Amino acid sequence: MTELLDQAIARVRALAPETQDAFARMLLDLAGDEAEPVILTRAERDAIATSKSAAARGEFATDEEVRAVWAKHGL
């Protein structure tokens, strides 16, 4: 394992379990894991539609809001 990957894994280990799982799924995806597609719930599909609509209207998070989210997750 490279030093950079080791550092990244150490940071992810400090996150909440559900966030760790999200990172694990992304890493497996990037590594070519042949996992089954994730079936989104109705609420998840609605949240995505809401986000797309806001983006289409040009409504994006401010730099301060983004920093607050990152800080909340220790990043």
Q: In total, how many domains does the chain have?
A: 1
Confidence of residue 22 (pLDDT cuts 50, 70, 90): very high
Residue 47 has φ and ψ, to the nearest 5°, of -65, -40
pLDDT of residue 35 exceeding 80: no
> What is the distance between the alpha carbons of residues 64 and 74, in angstroms, rounded to a whole number?
15
- Residue 33 pLDDT: 64
Residue 64, domain extent: 3-72
- Residue 74 pLDDT: 87
Q: What's the whole-number mean pLDDT along residues 22-50?
A: 89
Which residues, other chains included, contact 75 with Cβ-Cβ below 8 Å and sequence gap of 6+?
A: 11
pLDDT of residue 8 exceeding 80: yes
- Residue 68 pLDDT: 95
- Residue 36 pLDDT: 77
Radius of gyration of the chain (CA): 16
